[in-house]
Amino acid sequence: MNEVELLVGLVILVGLVGIVVPVLPGSILILGAVLVWTVSEGSGTAWTVFALATTLLVVGAIVKYVIPGRGLRSSGVPNRTIVFGGLLGIVGFFVVPVIGLVIGFVLGVYLSEVRRVGRHLAWPSTVAAMKAVGLSIFVELVAGLLAAGVWTVGVLNT
């Protein structure tokens, strides 16, 4: 394993962590790292690996919004609730680094739902929103792990 492959592997690992702890753009880091390896390698196999990794990450990005969005719509959680949760999550991130993002999101969804449906009915909507976000992170992580696996196979075969 040469220096480029080691560095690319570390960036891919950071990207995977960035998917789980949404501070860094995980999928973009993974894609960028694989691209750097592809350009440095320059072979046809490397470009095939890049195409496969890109496809996996793009499909993952699409699915991570489609499936949880359907679940939220079916549970009756409006988009504005998610937006408010996201905005409060961003504020929370700066108030309490890293974990403030999650705390702010949950609090924002809950407060928005209290305003919309009342205190007694807000918690089920909040739970549905948290499940959707968890599913979204899971889908992106699976796509990132698959892309990392494709890259690993590519490294071993070049």
Residue 74 corresponds to which tokens in the numbers above?
Answer: 């079916």
pLDDT at 56 over 80: yes
Instruction: Give residue-wise pLDDT tens across range 62-109.
Output: 998 888 878 777 878 888 888 898 899 889 989 987 678 888 888 999
At residue 76, the 3 state secondary structure works out as coil
Query: Which residue do the tokens 């009756």 mark?
Result: 76
pLDDT at 144 (0 to 100)? 97
| pLDDT (tens digit per residue) in 138-149 | 999 999 999 999
Q: Structural domain of residue 67, as residue ranges? A: 3-156
Residue 16: pLDDT band (50, 70, 90) is very high
- Residue 37 CA, distance from chain mean position: 22
Q: Which residues contact 128 (CB under 8 A, 6 or more apart)?
A: 71, 72, 75, 77
The number of folded domains in the chain is 1
Give, to the nearest 10 degrees, the angle between helix 44-75 and helix 26-41.
Answer: 170
